[in-house]
A and B are shown apart, each in its own frame.
Chain A
Amino acid sequence: MDNTTITNDIQFSDAAMAEIQRYISHYPPDRKKSAILPVLHIAQAEFGGWVSAEVQDKVAEILGITPIEVYEVATFYTMFNLKPVGKHVLEVCRTGPCMLRGADQLIEHLEHQLGCKVGGTSADGMFTLKTVECLAACGMGPMLQIREKYYENLDPDSTDKLLDDLRKE
């Protein structure tokens, strides 16, 4: 689904619904709300990398809870994007150990190469650049995460190659 065309008629794919039901089964029947984080992760992957209010409403409907219960969770945890993002979200760890190993320079390099600041999206809509706090890769920094994959021990050359590869996807 396109990033900007979410409508109120939210429908998860059959595969996503099966995954949602699998997670719900992990908790006591009267504790379906426990599945909220896994379901939000599935929703974000399903609907273009972010969770709109309409998507959150759908999550509430599936779990049998009120929409506000979803909103307060989605806004608390940093992994959920609340506005549209680029095709690839680059999440650079900026915390202490990575900083010591060159995270600041990596962020500057990416800002230059993508033509946008942290928090922004490149003009072609391909990349959103974010910084995050500690990704448990402290010995392998500087690093960044794209979806479920870590890229570690980055330098300008390996970063540029990564961007080139992603542009071709």
Chain B
Amino acid sequence: MGRKILTEHINVPDIHTLAVYRKMGGYRSVEKALKTMTSEEVVEEVKKSGLRGRGGAGFPTGMKWSFLAKPEGKPRYLVCNADESEPGTFKDRVLMEKIPHALIEGMITSSYALGARTSYIYIRGELMFVLRILEKAIAEAYAAGFLGENILGSGYSLDLHVHPGGGAYICGEETALLESLEGKRGNPRNKPPFPAVQGLYACPTVVNNVESIASVPWIVNNTGEEYAKIGVGRSTGTKLISAGGHLNKPGVYEIELGLPVEEFLFSDEYCGGIWKGRQFKAVVAGGSSVPILPAHLFLKTAEGVPRVMTYESLSEGGFVSGTMLGSGGFIAMDDTTCIVRNTWNFARFYHHESCGQCSPCREGTGWMEKILHRIEHGHGHMHDIDLLVNVSKQIEGNTICPLGDAAAWPVASAVRHFREEFEWHVKHPGAATQPGAVYRGAEEAALV
């Protein structure tokens, strides 16, 4: 059984209430930080922990905090990115829904570290039922003196508010999120200036993911050194993985980074293997924006080294034979999965969610979706496959924000690893468009 930091008490009855949360040791970090530590010391502990941003990018959280500009006379803000919209990822929703005080405690301790006097949780608008849970928990925290003026007599004051989004994946990008929070369309900003210098209302701002912020109380309570002992190398601590797709036991699992991928996928403690007794065909390991991998390259690297659940191991081999841990949105696919259809589905998603600000993304995502639609529906040409790769290359790296890369990588990797399946669709449109039709290899293709 792996160590649990975020979910240790998640199944305790009524853990969503302040009373039960406190009984389980909740809010100790607020008392410790505000009464015995300077804000710089809290930042230092987070730096020592090696905690990396759990939203997908994996940038060191403590380092991000230390970039925060400190001009005179300007307020500073902490904004929690709870706009979880990455297909395959639902960990933050579960954490906030089940144990909302974990996030609130993290927001208070982190805001203290950053010198913020007002902080916001930007939650995706679709999760209005979670917003209600958070608002109720925040009211409890105010009533208990953990929020508001002069918290616990420490002299530190903080207001915390929840802000609902309106249904736009792009608002998960930090500068688009800030635009949205200012009441505008969620168009990403050019960087620099980075939010640490000019963020919300042109003031210094840190934007952190839910899981990152919720990890801070444990670090403050137990020290950064203890946190850094968990995990492997630069992948320290635990990670929430949202497991979905063709699994016997889909759900949110907290793992110690470094867990063998085979154990995560097949053991009863975690995903319990592929459903319905089927074969494992492919996986998207870190949310829809990361490259898809065929089963054999997920379990072992191209050099035959068994992979483990770390940022480094999953990216071993680069994009030629590796992928990314990303947000931990784990999507398993069995052998009845049509990779072309799946790729088209993801391309449709990115086309739908492109904000339209950059031409390569606005036009390219639509173009990729159209090409994939015609291949999937029996109207493709062989040259469409190379065209797909070409379009993806024109998008990658050529947009203001990473949505362009997120749209390009799934398509490029699907063609890279499953080109035969795309070719089969083009060569055998009648067979490929039959309900439930799936390419199962060269031998079957020859029989069609």
Task: Give me the interface of A with B, judged by CB distance under 8 Å.
Answer: 26, 28, 31, 33-38, 40-41, 63, 65, 69, 72-73, 76-80, 94-97, 99-101, 132-141, 145, 147-150
Cβ contact of A99, chosen from B165, B342, B355, cutoff 8 A: B342
Residues 79-94 of B, flagged 1 when their CB comes within 8 A of A and 0 if not, give 0000011111110110
Contact A95 B128 (CB under 8 A): no
Q: Which residues of A contact B129 (CB under 8 A)?
A: 148-150
Q: What A residues does B352 contact at CB under 8 A?
A: 133
Which residues of the partner chain B approach A147 to less than 8 Å between Cβ atoms?
A: 128
Partner of B185, one of A31, A72, A133, A139: A72
**A73 CA / B164 CA spacing, docked (Å):** 14
Q: Is the CB of B167 within 8 A of A78?
A: yes
**Partner among B164, B245, B252 whose Cβ is within 8 Å of the Cβ of A41:** B164
| B279 close to A (CB within 8 Å) | no
Q: Please tell me if the beta carbons of B182 and A136 are within 8 angstroms of each other in the complex.
A: no
Do residues B165 and A141 form an inter-chain contact, with CB atoms below 8 A?
A: no
Q: Which residue of A lies closest to B333 (CB)?
A: A100
Contact status B168-A78, CB under 8 Å: yes
CB-based contact A148/B132 at 8 Å: yes
Closest chain B CB from A42 CB (angstroms): 10
Asked whether, in the complex, the Cβ of B242 is within 8 Å of the Cβ of A138, the reply is yes
Q: Assess whether B251 is interfacial by the CB under 8 Å rule.
A: yes
**Is B244 in contact with A141, judged by CB distance below 8 angstroms?**
yes
Write the B164-183 contact mask toward A (1 if CB under 8 angstroms, else 0).
11111100000000001111
B170 to chain A, nearest CB (A): 9
Among all A-B residue pairs, the 4 with the closest Cβ atoms: A77-B166, A139-B250, A79-B167, A33-B183
Is the Cβ of B349 less than 8 Å from the Cβ of A96?
yes
In angstroms, how far is the closest chain B Cβ from the Cβ of A23? 8
Given contacts A100-B245, A132-B126, A138-B88, contact A38 B167 (CB under 8 A): no
Q: Which residues of A contact B337 (CB under 8 A)?
A: 100
Known A96-B288, A97-B87, A136-B85; judge A80-B166 contact (CB<8 A).
Answer: yes
Q: Do residues A96 and B342 form an inter-chain contact, with CB atoms below 8 A?
A: yes
Residues of A within 8 A of B120 (CB): 26
Q: Which residues of A contact B244 (CB under 8 A)?
A: 97, 100-101, 138-139, 141
B50 CB within 8 Å of chain A: no
The CA-CA distance from A69 to B184 in the complex, in Å, is 8
Known interface pairs A138-B89, A138-B242. Does A79 touch B166 (Cβ–Cβ under 8 Å)? yes
Contact check, A145 vs B349: say whether CB atoms are below 8 A apart.
Answer: no
- Chain B, 184-243, CB within 8 A of any chain A CB: 184-186, 201, 242-243
**A141 to B129 CA separation, bound complex (whole angstroms):** 18
Quick one: given A37-B164, A97-B245, A97-B331, are A136 and B89 in contact (CB under 8 Å)? yes
Contact (A31, B182) CB under 8 Å given A96-B87, A136-B126, A145-B126:
yes
Instruction: Output the residue of A26, A79, A99, A133 with the most chain B CB within 10 A.
Output: A133
Q: CA of A26 to CA of B169 in the docked complex: distance in angstroms?
A: 24
Q: How many residues of B contact A (CB 8 A)?
A: 57
Can you list 6 A-B pairs, Cβ within 8 angstroms, ordered by A? A31-B183, A95-B345, A96-B88, A96-B345, A99-B345, A137-B93
Partner of A135, one of B126, B185, B245, B331: B126
A38 nearest CB across to chain B (Å): 6
Query: What residues of chain B lie closer than 8 Å to A139, measured between beta carbons?
Result: 90, 242-244, 247, 250-252
Give chain B nearest CB distance to A20 CB in angstroms.
Answer: 13
- State whether the Cβ of B28 lies closer than 8 Å to any Cβ in chain A: no
Q: Give chain A nearest CB distance to B328 CB in angstroms.
A: 11
Given contacts A34-B183, A148-B128, contact A138 B87 (CB under 8 A): yes
**Chain A hits for B169, CB < 8 A:** 133-134
Select from chain A the residue with minimum beta-carbon distance to B186.
Answer: A76
The answer to whether the Cβ of B47 comes within 8 Å of any Cβ in the partner chain is no
> In the complex the two chains form, is B331's CB within 8 Å of A136's CB?
no
Residue of B nearest to A137 (CB): B90
Give Cα A77 to B125, complex, Å: 10
B425 proximal to A (CB < 8 A): no
Contacts A26-B163, A33-B182, A101-B246 aside, 18 further interface pairs with beta carbons under 8 A come to A26-B120, A37-B183, A41-B125, A69-B183, A72-B184, A73-B185, A76-B168, A76-B185, A78-B167, A79-B126, A79-B167, A94-B345, A97-B244, A100-B337, A136-B127, A138-B89, A139-B242, A139-B244
B331 A40 Cβ-Cβ under 8 A = no
Does residue B70 face the partner (Cβ distance < 8 Å to A)?
no
Please determine whether A77 and B165 come into contact, CB atoms closer than 8 angstroms: yes
Docked complex Cα distance between A26 and B251 (Å) = 34
Flag if B183 contacts A36 (CB, 8 Å): yes
Residues of B with C-beta under 8 A to A136: 84-85, 89-90, 92-93, 124, 126-127
Chain B residues contacting A38 (CB-CB under 8 Å) are 163-164
Do A95 and B349 touch across chains, with their CB atoms under 8 A apart?
A: yes
B335 CB, min distance to chain A CBs, angstroms? 12
Type the 1/0 row for B54-92, where 1 means its CB is closer than 8 Å to any CB of A.
Answer: 000000000000000000000000000000111111101
Residue of B nearest to A94 (CB): B345
Residue of A nearest to B334 (CB): A100
CB distance from B168 to the nearest CB of A (A): 5
Cα–Cα, bound, A38→B164 (Å) = 6
A132 to B166, CA, bound (A): 13
Which partner residue on chain A sits nearest B132 by CB separation?
A: A148
Query: Are A77 and B167 in contact (CB-based, < 8 A)?
Result: yes
CA distance A117 to B271 in the complex (A): 36
Q: Which one of A31, A38, A69 has the greatest number of beta carbons of chain B within 10 Å? A: A38
